[in-house]
Amino acid sequence: MRSEPRVPVRLQEQEGGWPRAAVETVRREWLIAFRNRQDLMNPLVFFVLIVSLFPLGVSPEPEFLRQAGPGIVWVAALLSILLSLNLLFRNDYADGHLEQWVLSPQPLALLALARVAAVWVTTVLPLVLLVPVLAVMLHLSPGTGLVLVLTLLVGTPVLVLVGAIGAALTVSLRGSGVLLVLIMTPFYVPVLIFGTGAVTAAVEGASITGHLALLGAMLSLAVVLAPLAIAGALRISVSNG
């Protein structure tokens, strides 16, 4: 739990309308993130830990790592995103911030989208930027590492958007960490399949544009639909409290 004083909301300002509210949401998220650096570090450390368990637990053979590496990185990224999403709306729910969101004149779906975008930049992007280092440790070729980063850049926003629906649904529940993993993992399967599929295709020398296009299609679908579901779920959770 974060112990620092909260950054005040500025959603009530009249001028600017929803673009202003969205910008303020992003700005506030960044301020909070900057003041709670440990919260940002945890998913990163978790990510690296999970990845390093595989050479220890299965085999440090470069041949094995080359083959399994992209899948390991993807699964580890997926898990650490799921774990960090558990906290996505937790504090805002506890301090009544979410109620202000729901009551504010700005469209809730848009605020949710801004929030998710900010969270992606602050917690997931560092993780993606760490992947080249891990790629070297897993004996992946530079080209493969690059493709891996590319697929993660397109795929992880989908994971955050879809996972935020679950986070919004379970925010009012105590001990919802495992629950979130349980209800959200099946939804992550398509992203995982096409993400790792692109890397496999790249290793085999095939074109990856098809995979990236499919991931992009999922991303656009998620950007349009997920905020609506997040908004609906937040309304339910807030009405509960």
Partner 1 sequence: MWQWFHKLGSPKWFFGIAGRLMPWLGWSALIVLTAGVVWGLLFAPADYQQGDSYRIIFIHVPSAYLGQSLYVAMAVAGVVGLVWRMKMADTFIASATAVGAAMTFLALLTGAVWGKPTWGTWWVWDARLTSMLLLLFLYLGVMALRGAMEDPDVRARASAILVIVGVVNIPIIKYSVEWWNTLHQPATIKVTEAPSMPASMWVPLLICLLGFHLLVAWLILWRMRNDILLRERRARWVRDWVLAQ
The residues of the shown chain that bind partner 1, judged by CB under 8 A, are 162, 165-166, 169-170, 172-173, 176, 179, 182-187, 189-190, 193-194, 197, 200, 218, 225, 229, 232-233, 236-237, 239-240
Q: For partner 1, which is the closer residue by CB, 152 or 184?
A: 184
Closest to partner 1 by CB, 55 or 163: 163
Closer to partner 1 by Cβ: residue 63 or 204: 204
CB of 48 to partner 1, least distance (A): 27
- Smaller CB separation from partner 1, 45 or 206: 206
Whether 185 contacts 82, CB under 8 Å: yes
Lookup: tokens for 6: 């909260």
HEC secondary structure over 137-182: HCCCCHHHHHHHHHHHHHHHHHHHHHHHHHHHHHCCCCCCHHHHHH
Cβ proximity to partner 1: between 5 and 175 the closer is: 175
Q: In the bound complex, what is the minimum distance in angstroms from residue 201's beta carbon to partner 1?
A: 9
d(CA 125, CA 209): 22
Residue placing its CB nearer to partner 1 in the complex, 107 or 232: 232
Q: How many CB atoms lie within 10 A of CB 38?
A: 8
Token look-up 């950054």 returns 7
Half-sphere exposure of 222 (CA within 13 A, CB side): 24
The distance of closest approach from Cβ of residue 90 to partner 1 in the complex, given in angstroms and rounded to an integer, is: 15
CB of 111 to partner 1, least distance (A): 18
Cβ 199 to partner 1, closest distance in Å? 12
Cα separation, 54 vs 14, in Å, equals: 53
Task: Return d(Cα 182, Cα 186) in angstroms, integer.
Answer: 8
Kindly state the smallest distance separating residue 127's Cβ from partner 1, in Å.
Answer: 23
